[in-house]
Amino acid sequence: MARARATALLLDLDGVLRRFDPAVAAGVEREYGLADGVLTEIAMQWGRLRPVLTGQVSHADWMSSVADALAEPAGGPDRAREAVEQWQRYRGEVDTEVRDLVREVRDGGITVGLATNATDLLDADLAALGLADEVDVVVNSSTLGVHKPAPEYFQAACAALDTPPARVLFVDDEDWAVRGARSAGLSAHRWGGTADLRYLRAALAY
């Protein structure tokens, strides 16, 4: 039996609706004599990342811990803090083609939500990027206390959309998140770039 067409769209933020230019971090690393990729490498260490994604620590505390870890290679704690602050001033860029899709499907009656593993800085980021009013709901792991790909995360997301899982199409650029969504009963698509927009338009009922 064919699956019911989706009536709600659930989008990942980073890697789908927001992009980060890697040249920004690379420039900071060169300026402060840090190894290529070390800012992201330290920040994304799971023992450091998980607490901020589940709301146990703040974004500011997370970045302080990154600066502490970089104190020696940066040439001291003050330089490490300056490097992290400079890196963090860049909050990414909106993929305008994806934003336009969001506007289009909402105009067609589709409920759209953001589903993101994020920190307590998310609301400020969405406002700064002009995205705060572009979606109907925001599902932030640090507010929920649980992160993708846990089934509880997707249950909460579907409840926020007021849509049963079988009628939700989830889009993410990470395989593990897509697999988690499918296990929770959602339709899910691995985002490969704006060439996928045609597929998403065809998959939605509007």
Q: What's the whole-model pTM score?
A: 0.94
> Does the pLDDT of residue 93 top 60, yes or no?
yes
Contact call for residues 8 and 184 (beta carbons, < 8 A):
no
pLDDT value for 119: 98
pLDDT value for 4: 76
> Does the pLDDT of residue 206 top 90, yes or no?
no
Contact call for residues 92 and 18 (beta carbons, < 8 A):
yes
Provide the CA 2 distance to its chain's centre, in angstroms: 30
pLDDT value for 2: 55
Q: Dig out the tokens for 161 from the structure.
A: 């959309």
**Helix orientation angle between 77-88 and 59-69, rounded to the nearest 10 degrees:** 130
Cβ-proximal residues to 159 (8 Å cutoff; 6+ apart), any chain: none
- Separation in Å, CA 92 to CA 25, 95, 151, 164, 203: 11, 10, 28, 32, 28
- Separation in Å, CA 76 to CA 81, 82, 83, 150: 9, 10, 11, 39
